[in-house]
Chains A and B, each alone.
Chain A
Amino acid sequence: MALIRSSSPHLHNAGSTPKIMRLLLIAALPGIAAMTFFFGWGTLIQIGWAMLLALGFEAAVMKLRRRPVAFYLRDSSALVTALLLGLALPPFSPWWLTLVGVFVAIVIAKHLYGGLGNNPFNPAMVAYALLLVSFPVDMTRWTAPFVLHADDGWQVLGLIDTFKVIFGALDHSAIDAFTSATPLDELRHRGGLTTEEAFRESRVLADGVGAWHAVAAAYFMGGVFLLYRKVFTWHTPLAMLGSLAAISTLFYLFAPDNFADPFFHLTMGATMLGAFFIATDPVTAATSNRGKLYYGAGIGVLVYVIRTWGSYPDAVAFAVLLMNLAAPFIDQYTQPRTYGHAKPKRGLKEDA
C-alpha cells in the first residue's frame, strides 16, 4: 500500500474550513469592486451565476454520494471555486461557458477525487484551462476598461443590458464597443514594434493599463489582509512574485525592446489574483515551507515562459496546474526533519 509521506501541520487552530473560506470571500471584495468599477456589471453577474451553479452541482453530487448535503454546502468551498472562476472569465462571456466551467470544476476536478481536500488540481484553474483550450474565441473577448471609451464620467453597459448579453437575449454585436484585447494580448500581437513603440501606439497599452494596475492593487490589498489573518504563509506568494520579477528583470535588462518590464508582468493579467488567491490553495500546493518556496518559484518562472513564448494569452492557470502536478513530487523531497533529529554531518546518512 502506498502511504502518503507529506509532512503536514497536524496542529489544530481555531479557524474551521467555513471560516477560512469566508475570509477568502471577504478578502476578494476589493478585487470584485475594482473589476466591477472598471469592467462593468458583467463580473458581478458571472460570480453570482457561477456561485448558483456551484452550489447546485455540489448539492447534486452530495445527494448522489448519499452524504449530508447541508453540511458540505455550508463549508463554502464551492463558493470560493465559483468566485475564482467568475473573476477569471471574461465579464461578457455567455451563460453556457460558465455552466461548462463550473461543471468541470466542481464535478470533475473536485468531486471525482472525493471532494475538498483530495483534489490534486485547483478546480477553478482546471475549468479555466479547459475553457481556454476549447473556446478560445469566447475566452479572449475581454471587456475594455471604461476609461477607454468614456470621455467623461463612468460609462459601462447597463445592468439589464449586461444580463441580456450574458443570457443570450441581446446580440453580441451590441457589446462590440465595450470589448478590446487585454494588455497582455495587445503586447503579444504587436507586430514588429518594439515594446516602447507598442506602449506609445496602442490605446490599450497607453491608456488602458491604469485600470489593470488598480485591479492588481485591489487583489494585493486582499492578499495582504489574508496574510495578516494568517490564512496562508508568505512563502508561496513571495516566491511566485519574486521569481517572476527576477526573471522578467533579467530579460528586460538584456533586451528591453523585445520584453516587457517587470512591473508590467507583476500587475497585468491574473498575476496578483494568482499569487494570493489561487497558488495559495492549501490542498493543491506543496505542504512544507521549503516546498512552498519551490512551488511558488516554479509558478513564477512558468508564468513568464508561457506568457513570453507560449501561444495562450495568460499563463497563470497553466502555470498553477503544472506546479499542482509537481506538488506531490516536491512534497516527497522537501520533508522537514522531525524535531530532535538532525541530519548527520558525517558517517552513515539515515535516509540514503
Chain B
Amino acid sequence: MTEFLLILISTVLVNNFVLVQFLGLCPFMGVSNKLETAMGMSLATTFVLTLSSVCSYLVYSYLLAPLDMAFLKTISFILVIAVVVQFTEMVVRKTSPLLYRVLGIFLPLITTNCAVLGVALLNIKKMNGFMESIVYGFGAAVGFSLALILFSAIRERVAVADVPTPFRGAAIGMVTAGLMSLAFMGFTGLVSF
C-alpha cells in the first residue's frame, strides 16, 4: 500500500509529467484558457491515461513479450492509445455533447499527447507490474490535471492583466508555466523514485 502511495506522490508532485518532465505540453498550453474546458480535458485525459496504461501493459506482457516482438512496442502502443481515445470520444459525445463541442479538436488530439505514450513506455522501462501500471498511469493523469487546472485558473486572471503587448497570450503563458515549474521544484527530494 505504501508503495502505491509513493508512486502517487512521485508522479503527481515530485516528477509531475507536465511541470518537471515537460511531457504533454501541447494540451497544457492549448486547453488552458478557460477553467471549465480545462476540467473537462482533465477528466478525459485521466480516463484515457489510466485505461491506456493498463491496455498497453496487457498488450506488452501478453502479446509482445511472449512473441519476442518488444521492438514493436512504440507502434503498437500508439495503436492502443488511438483505440482508447476513439472510445473516449464516443463516450463523451454521447454523455456530454456540450463538452464534446467545447473540447473540439483537442479530444482526438489526446492521441498525440506525449504524456500518454510516455506513461505507457515508462511503465515498461520501469518494469511496473499490473497494479503499479494502473497507479502510475492514474498518478500521471492526476498530476497533469492538477497542473492544467491550476494553470487555467491563473491564465483566466492573467488574460485581463495589463501585460505588455509583446508578451500577451502564449508568451506570458510560457513564462507562467516556467514559474510554476520553478515552484514545483520545491518538491524535489520528497520521494526518490
| A130 partner residues in chain B, CB cutoff 8 A | 182
Asked, given contacts A315-B186, A321-B183, whether A118 binds B162 with beta carbons under 8 Å apart, the answer is yes
Distance (Å) between the CB of A298 and the closest chain B CB?
12
Other-chain contact of A65, B150, B156, B164 (Cβ < 8 Å)? B164
Other-chain contact of B163, A4, A114, A328 (Cβ < 8 Å)? A114
B156–A328 touching, CB < 8 Å: yes
Determine the distance from Cα of A325 to Cα of B186 in the docked complex, in whole angstroms.
13
For residue A70, CB closer than 8 A to chain B, the reply is no
A318–B183 touching, CB < 8 Å: yes
Distance (Å) between the CB of B31 and the closest chain A CB?
13
B172–A325 touching, CB < 8 Å: no
Other-chain contact of A311, B162, B180, B188 (Cβ < 8 Å)? B188
For residue B35, CB closer than 8 A to chain A, the reply is yes
Query: What 0/1 readout, one digit per residue, does chain B (159-189) give for beta carbons within 8 Å of chain A?
Result: 1111110010000100110011011111111
A120–B187 touching, CB < 8 Å: no
Asked, given contacts A322-B186, A325-B183, whether A4 binds B160 with beta carbons under 8 Å apart, the answer is yes
For residue B153, CB closer than 8 A to chain A, the reply is yes
Determine the distance from Cα of A317 to Cα of B185 in the docked complex, in whole angstroms.
11
A interface SS class: helix
For residue A310, CB closer than 8 A to chain B, the reply is yes
For residue A59, CB closer than 8 A to chain B, the reply is no
Distance (Å) between the CB of B159 and the closest chain A CB?
5
B interface SS class: helix
Give the interface segment out of A43-51, A104-112, A167-175, A257-265: A104-112
For residue B99, CB closer than 8 A to chain A, the reply is no
Asked, given contacts A2-B159, A112-B164, whether A310 binds B183 with beta carbons under 8 Å apart, the answer is no
- A198-220 contacts to B (CB < 8 Å): none
| B175 partner residues in chain A, CB cutoff 8 A | 108, 112
Distance (Å) between the CB of B175 and the closest chain A CB?
6
Q: Which residue of A lies closest to B19 (CB)?
A: A325
Distance (Å) between the CB of B102 and the closest chain A CB?
14
Q: Which residue of A lies closest to B157 (CB)?
A: A328
- B22-47 contacts to A (CB < 8 Å): 33-35
| A331 partner residues in chain B, CB cutoff 8 A | 153
A121–B179 touching, CB < 8 Å: yes
Q: Which residue of B lies closest to A318 (CB)?
A: B186
B164–A120 touching, CB < 8 Å: no
By size class, the interface of chain A is 35 or more
A113–B163 touching, CB < 8 Å: yes
| A315 partner residues in chain B, CB cutoff 8 A | 186
B190–A325 touching, CB < 8 Å: no
Determine the distance from Cα of A311 to Cα of B184 in the docked complex, in whole angstroms.
12
Distance (Å) between the CB of B154 and the closest chain A CB?
5
| A6 partner residues in chain B, CB cutoff 8 A | 157
For residue B12, CB closer than 8 A to chain A, the reply is no
| B172 partner residues in chain A, CB cutoff 8 A | 112-113
B189–A311 touching, CB < 8 Å: yes
5 contacts between A and B (CB under 8 A): A112-B175, A120-B176, A306-B190, A325-B154, A329-B149
Residues on A facing B (Cβ under 8 Å)? 1-4, 6, 65, 108-109, 111-115, 118, 120-121, 126, 129-130, 133, 302, 305-306, 309-312, 315, 317-319, 321-322, 324-326, 328-329, 331-332
Residues on B facing A (Cβ under 8 Å)? 33-35, 149-150, 153-164, 167, 172, 175-176, 179-180, 182-191
